[in-house]
């Protein structure tokens, strides 16, 4: 099961890096890899976020903005002549530094280093945190009983039901290719034509037709990947290649079964109006939560938690409108959300074909234009 490419390539801030890298490539040639570098090694005037991985900088900035309900210009100098992120002209930026340090100190000194407190803990989408309880108080739903928690299925049982719900192991094994056509819809409701091809073993290609006929294409041949846009053609960096390996699978079943020993069922939650079991897959820098519909067994949500020095940052994808194609269930819609409002959107497919011939050239990196 793949996540919408607009969001999944941003996992661990990969897509934000890609967009910046493509721009830098078109202006100055191929940029150096950020892998292993920190914020202060790649940005100017970093005072508080020293040690933050460089690929997390934009992700963390978007998290700050969403926590306070503001845009970049709230703290940074942005005018008609350019973006001057390193300047300290605005008092809001100096206040932000104090608040970031305060949050890190609270977590370090009071909560043993856990990200128990974040910007969002107090701000909740406002620049000024509320300090008075709003009345009338909201009623709280009763918690689930211990008896219900004790009756939760195991991760292995949930994955077995998921496999059956998809159509069974034999039907899944017969799927060797998948072609999808539809639209990608951004947060403002704008639609762009979208084509995706997945082929075994582990190959992926997508083409999005943007405004005025401009095309953004991504390809992965199972080993290396590339990205093409009006700004140029470049190879995908290692972090993005790892994400493409996930994109280039029909379902995450094999990967989840390989993790089953470390996964655990945390309980039930409501997803899009239905009860779902939540299965947690812990990780060092990234952990994932998978929600499986309690009635149908189908995967209905995947939520990623990215660990950073200022808190855990979420991303999620919902899988909707499952239909049967060649004996297996396939979602015809995927809705994504992240801390960057530009991550909000949906992919809707009008046609999905499986086991039809695939032109292998779509995965190969095109020749650079002279």
Q: Are 12 and 313 in contact (CB under 8 A)?
A: no
Q: What distance, in Å, lies between the first and last C-alpha atoms of the chain?
A: 37
Is 70 a domain residue?
Answer: yes
Domain count, the chain: 1
Give residue-wise pLDDT tens across range 259-275: 888 999 999 999 999 99
Q: Are 333 and 34 in contact (CB under 8 A)?
A: no
Give residue-wise pLDDT tens across range 194-203: 999 999 999 9
Is 344 a domain residue?
Answer: no
Phi and psi angles of residue 169, each rounded to the nearest 5 degrees, phi first: -60, -40
Confidence of residue 238 (pLDDT cuts 50, 70, 90): confident
**Region 23-42 average pLDDT:** 57
> Which distant-in-sequence residues (6+ apart) come within 8 Å of 11 by Cβ?
3, 243, 286, 304, 306, 315
Is 57 a domain residue?
Answer: yes
Where is 361: in which H helix or E strand? none
Is 76 a domain residue?
Answer: yes
Q: Are 223 and 207 in contact (CB under 8 A)?
A: no
Cα distances (angstroms) measured from residue 92 to each of 64, 76, 87, 170, 256: 12, 8, 12, 59, 44
Is 240 a domain residue?
Answer: no
Is 137 a domain residue?
Answer: no
Could you tell me the residue range of the domain that residue 57 belongs to? 12-123
Cross-strand bridge partners of residue 228: 217, 233
CA 143 – CA 141 distance, rounded (Å): 6
- Side-chain-facing half-sphere of 20: CA atoms under 13 Å: 18
Give residue-wise pLDDT tens across range 128-158: 988 888 888 877 665 554 445 558 999 999 9
Identify the DSSP state of 73: G
Please list, residue by residue across 41-56, b when 16 or more beta carbons sit within 10 angstroms of its beta carbon and e when fewer do: eeeeebeebeebbbbb
**Region 5-29 average pLDDT:** 37
Q: Between 268 and 3, where is the model more confident?
A: 268
- Tell how far CA 48 is from the center of its chain: 26
Where is 172: in which H helix or E strand? helix 169-173
**Region 208-228 average pLDDT:** 92
pLDDT of residue 12: 32
Give residue-wise pLDDT tens across range 269-312: 999 999 999 999 988 778 899 999 999 999 999 999 988 888 88
pLDDT of residue 139: 72
CA 166 – CA 354 distance, rounded (Å): 14
Phi and psi angles of residue 9, each rounded to the nearest 5 degrees, phi first: -75, -10
Q: Are 358 and 179 in contact (CB under 8 A)?
A: yes
Helix, strand or coil, per DSSP, at residue 10 = coil
Helix, strand or coil, per DSSP, at residue 63 = helix
Is 28 a domain residue?
Answer: yes
Q: Is 60 exceeded by the pLDDT of residue 9?
A: no
Quote the tokens at residue 249. 């699978």
């Amino acid at each position: 099961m793949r996540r919408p490419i607009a969001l999944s390539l941003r996992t661990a801030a990969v897509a934000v890096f890609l967009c910046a890298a493509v721009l830098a490539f078109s202006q100055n040639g191929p940029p150096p890899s950020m892998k292993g570098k920190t914020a202060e090694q790649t940005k100017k005037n970093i005072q508080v976020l020293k040690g933050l991985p460089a690929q997390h900088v934009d992700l963390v900035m978007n998290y700050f903005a969403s926590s306070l309900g503001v845009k970049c210009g709230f703290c940074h100098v942005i005018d008609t002549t350019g973006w001057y992120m390193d300047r300290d002209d605005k008092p809001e930026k100096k206040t932000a530094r104090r608040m970031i340090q305060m949050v890190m100190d609270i977590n370090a000194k009071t909560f043993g280093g856990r990200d128990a407190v974040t910007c969002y803990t107090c701000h909740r989408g406002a620049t000024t945190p509320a300090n008075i309880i709003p009345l009338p108080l909201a009623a709280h739903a009763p918690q689930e009983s211990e008896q219900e928690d004790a009756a939760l299925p195991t991760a292995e049982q949930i994955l077995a039901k998921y496999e059956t719900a998809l159509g069974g192991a034999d039907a899944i094994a017969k799927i060797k290719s998948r072609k999808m056509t539809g639209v990608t819809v951004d947060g403002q409701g704008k639609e762009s034509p979208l084509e995706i091809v997945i082929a075994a073993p582990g190959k992926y290609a997508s083409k999005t037709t943007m405004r005025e006929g401009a095309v953004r294409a991504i390809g992965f041949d199972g080993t290396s990947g590339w990205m093409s846009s009006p700004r140029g053609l470049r190879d995908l960096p290692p972090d993005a290649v790892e994400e493409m390996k996930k994109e280039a699978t029909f379902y995450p079943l094999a990967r989840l079964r390989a993790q089953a020993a470390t996964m655990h069922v945390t309980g039930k939650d409501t997803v899009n109006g239905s009860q779902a079991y939540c299965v947690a897959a812990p990780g060092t820098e990234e952990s994932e939560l998978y929600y499986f519909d309690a009635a149908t067994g189908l995967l209905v949500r995947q939520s990623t938690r990215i660990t950073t020095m200022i808190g855990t940052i979420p991303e999620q994808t919902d899988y909707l409108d499952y239909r049967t194609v060649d004996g297996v269930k396939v979602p015809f819609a995927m809705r994504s959300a992240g801390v960057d409002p530009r991550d909000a959107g949906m992919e809707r497919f009008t046609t999905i074909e499986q086991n039809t011939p695939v032109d292998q050239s779509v995965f190969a990196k095109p020749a650079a234009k002279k």
